[in-house]
Amino acid sequence: MKQSVFTLIFLMCISSLFAQKPYRGGEVYSHESVLYGKFEMRMKMIKGSGMLSTFYTIKHFPKTGNPYWGEIDIEVLAKDNAQIMSTNIFINDADGNWIHDEKQIHLDYSLADDFHVYTLEWTPNYIAWFIDGVEQRRQTGEFVDHMTVPQEYRLNAWISSTPAWVGEIDEDAMPAYQYVDWIEYSSYNEATQDFTKQWRDNFYWFNALRWKKGNWTFDGNEVDFVEENAYIENGHLILAITDPTPPLYIFR
């Protein structure tokens, strides 16, 4: 018994020592990809400097030599009482270099104190962001014209390694949780310019036919996404940010 306990402690310490990132985050991403449409979701975001709560669509071709990149983001900065929504578009030029356009929406209320409905409309002619039905930004031009390839969609909670953007990391705010009450997708008909509802996920259970859980990371991210930080509880999808430091065990 003693040997197994000390073996467990040893393995936990080794795991912590060789962890890729200092924190853990949660992510879910779609099996399918879609071209255009409307995403609506009711969410309560994270509050705590350094952290972000997100929804975004993305398409790129890693390790294939294809330089195409298309990405549309909703990112709530958890610093400053979670009153900033960052709207981002990423595309690439012919050489594969990123071109980035960000507009920060500064609100007079916190997006972490209650649930709000976030809407992203993506059409061949415009991309628009809404909170509770109020349009916050509309983008046209080259960024929209670039988005001609179907994209998958993702939700995640993570920590940026750019404090000038998100603030210094507040470990006292951990564990921190992004709550997703429901998400709905409507397709876009180019002929009629109408949206048609296709599905709604109320997160009564984890729909493995629609979602996968992230177990990876990326440059500039201070978390490893782990499956246990994305889960269903009380009719919500919960994405958690946690400090992975193992507890100190004292044996007598």
What is the pLDDT tens value at each position of the chain, 252 positions in all?
444 434 333 334 434 444 589 999 999 999 999 999 999 999 999 999 999 999 999 998 877 878 899 999 999 999 999 999 999 999 998 887 889 999 999 999 999 999 999 999 999 999 999 999 999 999 999 999 999 999 999 999 999 999 999 999 999 999 999 999 999 999 999 999 999 999 999 999 999 999 999 999 999 999 999 999 999 999 999 999 999 765 443 333
DSSP 247: P
pTM summary value = 0.89
Given CATH 3.20.20.70, say whether it is the number of domain 23-241. Answer: no
- Within 10 angstroms of residue 241's Cβ, the number of other Cβ atoms is 29
Whole-angstrom distance, CA of residue 36 vs CA of residue 213: 23
Which of 27, 32, 40, 71 is labelled catalytic? 71
Give the start-to-end residue ranges of the domains of the chain. Answer: 23-241
Which of 27, 32, 40, 75 is labelled catalytic? 75
* C-alpha pair distances (Å), 45 with each of 24, 106, 158: 17, 15, 12
Q: What is the CA radius of gyration of the chain?
A: 19
* C-alpha pair distances (Å), 208 with each of 89, 128, 205: 28, 29, 9
Whether 75 is catalytic is yes
